[in-house]
A and B are shown apart, each in its own frame.
Chain A
Amino acid sequence: GAVVSQHPSWVICKSGTSVKIECRSLDFQATTMFWYRQFPKQSLMLMATSNEGSKATYEQGVEKDKFLINHASLTLSTLTVTSAHPEDSSFYICSAPGPIFSSYEQYFGPGTRLTVT
């Protein structure tokens, strides 16, 4: 149980276009999801906390107008990279706290590799 999926697993887009990445909790409900960005050979950087039915909370330095997050249901959060540029190329990972409240464990999606040309 507690599986998180992401789609697409990789995407190539042209500079100036927008890309949407989906994060789904497959067998449990997630009122909170996290979006991370990972640069090559580096650790994960938390971008934002996605909250079902309310606005996302962005970390300092993350442009909320560029990285649009929508958490419209208890099993789906989306990250849209708007007007993408080559510097947005990265590995994007989502996660959700598991269904067992006291576990404080996050379950991670497999990641989406975005390449902007």
Chain B
Amino acid sequence: AQSVTQLDSQVPVFEEAPVELRCNYSSSVSVYLFWYVQYPNQGLQLLLKYLSGSTLVKGINGFEAEFNKSQTSFHLRKPSVHISDTAEYFCAVSDMDSNYQLIWGAGTKLIIKP
């Protein structure tokens, strides 16, 4: 069965510093990969997705992620964070057979320190 692991439950980082949020998945078939962001008391917003093609995916708000098939990872990065990036970030996976169902990671809370 598929699973998604976000190893870090919280990541504190200073404002304007770079950040990487880690995501690893397990799957034996081709997968689609997503990062969603949830701001406090709000719903989910898609940051970026990987469906096929270039392994480096750029999303909104300056975020990007790299799909690494050999390491089954899809880490999220931003070169310089802002206080407004404070949120919960979720990695999710779906595959061709899942009928659009998403398998979710536990989430990583990004804490920006001034």
Contact = CB atoms under 8 A, between A and B. Distances in A.
A105 B101 contact: no
Contacts of A111: 42-43
Interface string B37-53: 00001111110010100
Interface stretch (B14-22, B56-64, B73-81, B104-112): B104-112
Contact of B101 (A49, A93, A102): A49
Nearest to A111: B43
B43 A110 contact: yes
Contacts of B49: 103-105
Given A104-B32, A104-B51, A43 B104 contact: yes
A109 B69 CA distance: 31
Interface string B89-108: 01000100001111011110
Contacts of A97: 100
A60 interface: no
Interface string A83-113: 0000000000101010000111111111101
A109 B102 CA distance: 15
B34 interface: yes
B100 A106 contact: yes
Instruction: Give the interface size class of chain A.
Output: 20 to 34
Interface residues of B, number: 22
B105 A43 contact: yes
A32 interface: yes
A19 interface: no
Interface of B: 32, 34, 36, 41-46, 49, 51, 90, 94, 99-102, 104-107, 109
24 contacts: A32-B99, A41-B109, A42-B107, A43-B90, A43-B105, A43-B107, A44-B44, A44-B90, A46-B101, A93-B43, A93-B44, A104-B32, A105-B34, A105-B46, A105-B49, A106-B102, A107-B46, A108-B36, A108-B43, A108-B45, A109-B43, A110-B42, A110-B43, A111-B43
